[in-house]
Structure 1
Amino acid sequence: MTFEQLRTFLWVARLGGFRKASDRLHLSQPAVSTRISNLEDELDAKLFERGPGDLVLTKQGQQLLGYAEQLLYVEEEIKHRVANPAETEGLFRIGASETIAQAWLPLFLQAFSVKFPRVNIDLTVDISLNLRAAILERRLDLAFLMGPISEYSVKNVALPQFDLHWYKDKQLGPIDLSEIPIISYSSQTRPYRELTSELARRVGPKLRVFSSASLSASLRMIAAGIAVGPYPRVLAVRHLEANEIEEFDPGFIPPPLEFTASYLAEPRSLLVENGAEIAREIAIDWHRTHQN
């Protein structure tokens, strides 16, 4: 019995199938099947039954799962305590919201690459709703998103908040929110729901709210005088420096955007835990120098 067999068994059990495990482990499906078959032969026990959809653990498989998690946890501890991080290899799948991507994500990638120079990074930039789904489906290892993810299996590391500021085309005069559209985040996000709820109460039936998953496109619409809206200052910097937009006060400010570094707590990965901690430190430093 080897660590590789146990690791393969663990991922087949966690993901519920050979194909999903082969994608996660970057192995061919026959290689995964062979490892499981050899493990079953060595233990003289059937570990999986074919269910209506995914594979289902047998009683012996359930027993082995607990031991496999313990052994692989010890392996992670050894790597963390003894091994040189610079020798760590593998693929690290990171997801980030556009706000993070335009703020401190490049600094994080630089710091992470310095500590883990042999780890390859696969980066996804998307809305938080999709990043959440990717974490829960194990398609991402770590995500920087509007959180937290309220699932018992997810660990959320709090990151600094982003204050929101209202922006308008600099050529526009005083703003009446009942006469010009407001543009916000995607309609599937919490900021959009909170903003539309508050504005409906303040503005009434004349309210018009646009939504866009592309924050850069939203700021271009504001700069063109099509709409106004509240966004983190980091997204507006280019347009502010070009003297295209300016901040204004409509009488209220939406609550700050809350972000987390979120990942599945089991099976434990010290690479992911290190990544989340590096992100927290980088984000704190960035906000200390950039947030006003």
Structure 2
Amino acid sequence: MNLHMLEVFIRVTELQSISKAAKQLHLSQPAVSSLIQSLEQFYGHQLFFRTVKGVQLNPAGEIVYKNIKKILQIHEQMKRQLAEFVQNENIVHIGATEAFGNFLLPYSLGYFRKKFPNVRIDVSIYQREEIVERLQQQTIDMGVVEDSGMFQSGIEAVQIGKDQIILAVSYQSPFTKKKTLTIEELEDLPLILASPTLPIRRTIQQKLAQLKFPIQNLDVISEMSSIQALKTAVISGLGASFFYKSCIQYEIEEGLLYPLSIEGLDLEVSYYLLYLPKNISAAGQQFLTYLKGNAILQF
């Protein structure tokens, strides 16, 4: 018995005619009759009353018809689910913090797309804590954060690149005559800082604390929760701010922002890709391999 035999049975039943079913199915009438006889032999029951007008289900046939309909419905549902599964297998859902997700990751996606044109990468921006939570809930396939930290059991963290944190001012600033500032000079510089919810702010505070230089010593004139807002504010001449180099590379090259380094302040960050090995798809593995070996993630 096979699905074709079941489909023929359903067509004969609903048309109440072997000849009509044969015509619709583009089969010969003897072929359809043979399939019905094989099905009756398989179940050990005659399934139809034969009449001069055609065929009609008998009580045994009614039982078979109802259950075969369910079998074919389940089969169609399974085919739809498999089609969706194949489609989703080629989609990788990434949760990333703002710096990586909005700036560095889109830059690298073009290269990946050329190598793997059938894989789609969907990117959403979240806070670090939400990325870890969504990874556990399996609403994202992978996450990218700026520091490894501690994660729940089962989460793998793979370093996929590094970035520098640099101080930047507008080209109208008098500090463009310098390349390096001392910590003392940093105290006199009006600063716009990222809000405490952003990873870059936490990194800066930790590095300054290591130099026994509290962030309260800085002349902070504003805090902003968006890297793009920070860039706009600095370009307009409001003050200076710290940025990941990857986020302002374009503005530096276009002469919109001027980079400065701070004596004794080594600001570097590593990007880590987080994933649950048991849940990673073939497309996800391709993307992981690509990120681990891609030199454009080194700034």
Q: What range describes the TM-score normalised by the shorter chain of this pair? A: 0.5 to 0.7
Q: Contact conserved, 1:154 with 1:262, CA < 8 A, in 2?
A: yes
- Give 1:268 shift: 4.9
- Give 1:94 shift: 1.4
Q: What runs of 5+ residues in structure 2 fail to find an aligned partner?
A: 1-73, 75-85, 176-180
- Give 1:91 shift: 3.5
Corresponding residue to 1:214 among 226, 239, 261: 226
Check 1:222–1:110 CA distance in 2 against 1; reply closer, same or farther (3 A cut).
same
Partner of 1:163: 164
Check 1:203–1:227 CA distance in 2 against 1; reply closer, same or farther (3 A cut).
farther
2:213 match: secondary structure: helix
Between 165-174 and 202-211, the greater mean CA deviation after superposition: 202-211
Partner of 1:107: 108
Q: Contact conserved, 1:165 with 1:253, CA < 8 A, in 2?
A: no
- Give 1:168 shift: 1.1
Say whether residues 1:250 and 2:259 are aligned partners: no
Partner of 2:44: none
- Structure exhibiting the larger radius of gyration computed from Cα positions: 2
- Give 1:222 shift: 1.6
Runs of 4+ in 1 over 6 A off after TM superposition: none
1:266 match: secondary structure: helix
- In 1, Cα distance between equivalents of 2:128 and 2:88: 29
- In 1, Cα distance between equivalents of 2:190 and 2:129: 24
- In 1, Cα distance between equivalents of 2:253 and 2:271: 26
- In 2, Cα distance between equivalents of 1:131 and 1:137: 10
Normalising by structure 1, report the TM-score: 0.57
Superposed CA offset, 1:200-248 (max 9, x none): 6436744244443321221221222222122222222332233232122
Q: Contact conserved, 2:97 with 2:127, CA < 8 A, in 1?
A: yes
- In 2, Cα distance between equivalents of 1:128 and 1:252: 28
- In 1, Cα distance between equivalents of 2:147 and 2:241: 22
Check 1:141–1:279 CA distance in 2 against 1; reply closer, same or farther (3 A cut).
same
Partner of 2:296: 286
Partner of 2:205: 196
Q: Contact conserved, 1:195 with 1:254, CA < 8 A, in 2?
A: no
Check 1:257–1:211 CA distance in 2 against 1; reply closer, same or farther (3 A cut).
farther
- Give 1:273 shift: 2.6
1:171 match: secondary structure: coil
- In 1, Cα distance between equivalents of 2:267 and 2:107: 26
Q: What runs of 5+ residues in structure 1 fail to find an aligned partner?
A: 1-37, 39-85
2:104 match: secondary structure: coil
Normalising by structure 2, report the TM-score: 0.56
- Give 1:120 shift: 4.2
2:234 match: secondary structure: helix
- In 1, Cα distance between equivalents of 2:249 and 2:239: 18
Check 1:142–1:112 CA distance in 2 against 1; reply closer, same or farther (3 A cut).
farther
- In 2, Cα distance between equivalents of 1:88 and 1:110: 21
- In 2, Cα distance between equivalents of 1:87 and 1:204: 49
Q: Contact conserved, 2:167 with 2:243, CA < 8 A, in 1?
A: yes
Say whether residues 1:233 and 2:245 are aligned partners: yes
Superposed CA offset, 1:180-215 (max 9, x none): 443344412443123235446436744244443321
2:162 match: secondary structure: strand
- In 1, Cα distance between equivalents of 2:279 and 2:262: 48
Superposed CA offset, 1:22-55 (max 9, x none): xxxxxxxxxxxxxxxx9xxxxxxxxxxxxxxxxx
Give the counterpart letter for 1:187 in structure 2.
P
% identity of equivalent residues: 13
Superposed CA offset, 1:151-193 (max 9, x none): 2211111112101222112222247433444334441244312
Superposed CA offset, 1:58-96 (max 9, x none): xxxxxxxxxxxxxxxxxxxxxxxxxxxx99845321123
Say whether residues 1:177 and 2:183 are aligned partners: no
- In 2, Cα distance between equivalents of 1:184 and 1:203: 14
Partner of 1:91: 91
Check 1:226–1:133 CA distance in 2 against 1; reply closer, same or farther (3 A cut).
farther
How many residues are paired up?
202
